[in-house]
């Protein structure tokens, strides 16, 4: 049995479609109280743990960095320590925001991290806590997560297309959109492989291909929807937010392919599935 922290988030929702997964919500383990995470792991005695829960309010984290650190650093550190005690693997989802977003080449797992906002700092501290725990782990950095669940870019563009023919979208942030369903399957596969080979423990990258800008991604969504809405490009400077975003979110995923045999997914395939799911929900309403 694999224990999953998180129940309503994008990846956590997808993980629950897999057999032998038990997902626990906040009322069973509150990440702002890290000891409850440790207690949950010891109570369930799983064969592996996946942490799909996090503080993800990027802009709000600028004024709530202590809470972000509690949830994104202290809680994963407590989970990892419990996994070390039970000698079971721990898979943790991290982010491209641990990098500063400079240059234009894909970030390697060995590149120096330099987060530019509170959210990124909290996630990096979480990575460091996991590495210090002594457990068998896989830290999976990903980017631009989308699905038919929760709040995300695809659902926002779909909603805007209902009332607007033209919108402006940032065009100088480049990355790989990644479907939550693909991330969930990858987490399961990595956890299973770590159970049999602890030498695979380490930090890995996983994102969809090809890399695009937010504006390009928006227009791909509209094209797939066969709607008339068009996204026009603007620079990040014209859409300021409290937290700085990296301009370069490209991730080098070769280590994940080489170690686990998991290739970068094509986000257009995942996007088609997401839109079909959303259309199905609309038909049921």
Residue 119 designated active-site:
yes
CA 217/CA 112 separation, integer angstroms: 28
Strand-by-strand arrangement of the 248-249 sheet: 212-213, 174-175, 248-249
CA 116/CA 6 separation, integer angstroms: 26
CA 49/CA 79 separation, integer angstroms: 8
Q: Is the peptide bond before 210 cis (omega within 30 degrees of 0)?
A: yes
What sign results for the dihedral spanned by CA atoms 214, 73, 191, 109? positive
Nearest Cα residue to 54 out of 78, 71, 29: 71
φ/ψ of 282, rounded to 5, equals -65, -40
Q: Catalytic one among 55, 97, 119, 204?
A: 119
SS3 118: helix
Active-site annotation, residues: 119
């Amino acid at each position: 049995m694999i224990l999953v922290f998180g129940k309503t988030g994008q990846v956590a929702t997808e993980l629950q479609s897999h057999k032998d997964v038990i997902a626990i919500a906040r009322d069973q383990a509150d990440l702002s109280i890290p000891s409850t995470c440790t207690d949950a792991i010891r109570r369930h005695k799983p064969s592996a743990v996946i942490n799909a829960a996090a503080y993800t309010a990027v802009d709000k984290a600028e004024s709530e960095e202590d809470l972000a650190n509690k949830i994104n650093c202290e809680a994963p550190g407590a989970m990892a320590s419990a996994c070390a005690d039970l000698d079971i693997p721990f898979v943790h989802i991290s982010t491209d925001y641990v990098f500063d977003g400079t240059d234009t080449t894909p970030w390697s797992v060995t590149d120096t991290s330099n987060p530019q906002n509170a959210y990124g700092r909290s996630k990096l501290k979480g990575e460091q806590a996991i590495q210090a725990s002594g457990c068998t782990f896989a830290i999976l950095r990903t980017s631009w997560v989308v699905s038919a669940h929760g709040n995300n870019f695809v659902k926002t563009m779909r909603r805007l297309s209902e009332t607007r023919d033209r919108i402006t979208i940032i065009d100088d942030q480049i990355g790989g959109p990644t479907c939550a369903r693909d991330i969930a399957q990858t987490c399961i596969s990595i956890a299973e492989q770590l159970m049999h080979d602890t030498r695979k423990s380490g930090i890995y990258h996983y994102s969809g291909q090809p890399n695009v800008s937010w504006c390009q991604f928006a227009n791909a969504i509209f094209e797939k929807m066969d709607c008339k809405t068009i996204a026009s490009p603007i620079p990040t400077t014209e859409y300021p937010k409290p937290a700085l975003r990296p301009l370069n979110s490209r991730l080098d995923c070769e280590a994940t392919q080489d170690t686990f045999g998991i290739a970068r997914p094509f986000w257009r395939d995942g996007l088609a599935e997401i839109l079909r799911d959303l259309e199905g929900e609309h038909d049921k309403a």
